[in-house]
Amino acid sequence: MADDLNLLSNDEFRDRWRAWLTENYPEEWRVPIIHRLKGDEERRWHRMTYEAGWRAPAWPKEYGGLGLGLEKQLIMHEEMERHNCARVLDSGAILMAPVLMKYGTPEQRDRYLLPILRGDELWCQGYSEPNSGSDLASLRTSAVREGDDYVINGQKIWTTLAAYADRIFLLARTDKSVKKQAGISFLLADMDTPGLTVRPIMNLAGEDELCEIFLDNIRVPAENLVGELNQGWTVAKALLGDERIANGAPTLPRQSFEVLEELVEAVDLLADLGETDRCAQLFCDIEDLAALHSQVADAAIRGNINHAVLGLMKVLATDLFQDVSDELLRVAGEDAGLLEPVGVAGVKLDLRKIYMTARPATIYAGANEVQRNIVANMLMGPGAK
């Protein structure tokens, strides 16, 4: 793009992004809530935006990003919501790249950043383990230095879209003799490394996006260590900043509510007072979350927030997504039990998939119970063990 997007007014910027989406966004991807781009679809999306000058809005320009302020990044999110775009994980640009920018060596940046931008390489995040979910620091996958390599053994689980990824960034224990957070390192591996196997796990939405990864004596070169040895916990925490604000956006509840409104009208419940009160509650919940989200975003742009509010909004947004999906089932009556997508009173929708897509939202990105603990610690001081 010839000119600097940062110099555009917010309105001009919004118009330009909207026009580009309208012109270029593939129609078959416009299945909000349910569809998530994966594999070649995701590669194609990154490539499209890269070539058109829209890729990596949050990255600084020196790394090839757009260097946009938070305000314009949020405008991009809003317009994608408006356009009913599919969800995109983009672990490379959103999760991996910021770590490399902060802790990576120049060689690591040179090697990995451009392929992320171009959509040539997709990444996945290997944090959770079978016995380390919310208590992530208890992880047991080990990495032992042998010559110029680290030898990694262990198992990762709930790794989103691992089957489509080219590389993985993972946490492994490199020192068992110290406090659990102090003995963890941050390592990179190619997904085709011998000894690394991926097994997709079928989930309740009928998708195989989540995977198990078995690490059986896999060898990665020592240069794949990011940050200092045993500093992996600190490196991983670099991700817990403002970017988490997206987890508290009212996007999914709002899109689901639009489906609900259509359905309520189609089944002729607009005048039903019980239904009206339930819809009214959900509508107010969404609107007020939107008000909070935008005011927190404004404050974050000025650098003025307590980060605990991001966890609090994550809880609100994900609980609300579930509330709306629950209400959809109630309105659908017997049709709520249908396994396959069908038309309910002429409205085409996949109720089971919306319902099931809403389930894990309260678990991933920090289970809501853990988020409540974190906020409680901030507001009320430490709790009992």
- Does position 71 interact with other proteins (CB under 8 A)? The reply is no
- Does position 78 interact with other proteins (CB under 8 A)? The reply is no
Q: Tell the smallest beta-carbon distance from residue 288 to other proteins (Å).
A: 4
Count of positions on this chain that bind other proteins (CB under 8 A): 41
Q: Tell the smallest beta-carbon distance from residue 177 to other proteins (Å).
A: 31
Retrieve residue 237's tokens.
């925490």
Whole-angstrom Cα distance, residue 234 to residue 214?
A: 25
How many other C-beta atoms are found inside a 10 Å radius of the C-beta of residue 244? 16
How many other C-beta atoms are found inside a 10 Å radius of the C-beta of residue 12? 11
Whole-angstrom Cα distance, residue 253 to residue 375?
A: 22
Sign of CA dihedral 81, 240, 48, 66: positive
Name the one range near other proteins by CB under 8 A: 121-129, 284-292, 322-330, 333-341: 284-292
At 248, the amino acid letter reads G
Name the one range near other proteins by CB under 8 A: 2-10, 103-111, 122-130, 274-282: 274-282
- Does position 25 interact with other proteins (CB under 8 A)? The reply is no
Whole-angstrom Cα distance, residue 258 to residue 266?
A: 12
Nearer to other proteins, 223 or 369 (CB): 369
Nearer to other proteins, 305 or 356 (CB): 305
Among 240, 291, 338, 342, binds other proteins (CB under 8 A): 291
Name the one range near other proteins by CB under 8 A: 109-117, 172-180, 185-193, 290-298: 290-298
Query: What does residue 28 show for φ and ψ, rounded to 5 degrees?
Result: -70, -10
Q: Tell the smallest beta-carbon distance from residue 28 to other proteins (Å).
A: 24
Nearer to other proteins, 151 or 378 (CB): 378
Among 52, 204, 342, 376, binds other proteins (CB under 8 A): 376
Helical axes 308-332 vs 368-380, angle rounded to 10°? 140
Among 304, 339, 340, 346, binds other proteins (CB under 8 A): 304
Sign of CA dihedral 247, 299, 95, 49: positive
Nearer to other proteins, 51 or 369 (CB): 369
Among 276, 333, 337, 348, binds other proteins (CB under 8 A): 276
- Does position 259 interact with other proteins (CB under 8 A)? The reply is no
- Does position 375 interact with other proteins (CB under 8 A)? The reply is yes
* CA dihedral of residues 307, 310, 315, 317 (deg, nearest 10): 170
Task: Return all residues near 35 (Cβ < 8 A) that are at least 6 apart.
Answer: 29, 86, 87
Q: Tell the smallest beta-carbon distance from residue 265 to other proteins (Å).
A: 9
Q: Tell the smallest beta-carbon distance from residue 302 to other proteins (Å).
A: 8
* Residue indicated by tokens 């990762």: 156
Query: Residue 151: beta bridge partners?
Result: 144, 219
Q: Tell the smallest beta-carbon distance from residue 320 to other proteins (Å).
A: 11
Whole-angstrom Cα distance, residue 140 to residue 265?
A: 52
| Alpha helix segments (H runs only) across the chain | 10-24, 40-52, 70-82, 91, 97-103, 106-118, 232-237, 251-266, 273-301, 308-332, 351-358, 368-380
Among 277, 333, 342, 348, binds other proteins (CB under 8 A): 277
Which residues from 308-327 bind other proteins, rule CB under 8 A?
308-309, 312, 315-316
Among 299, 333, 342, 348, binds other proteins (CB under 8 A): 299
- Does position 274 interact with other proteins (CB under 8 A)? The reply is no
Residues forming contacts to other proteins in the complex (CB under 8 A) are 261, 270, 276-277, 279-281, 283-285, 287-289, 291-292, 294-296, 298-300, 302, 304-306, 308-309, 312, 315-316, 369, 372-373, 375-376, 379-384
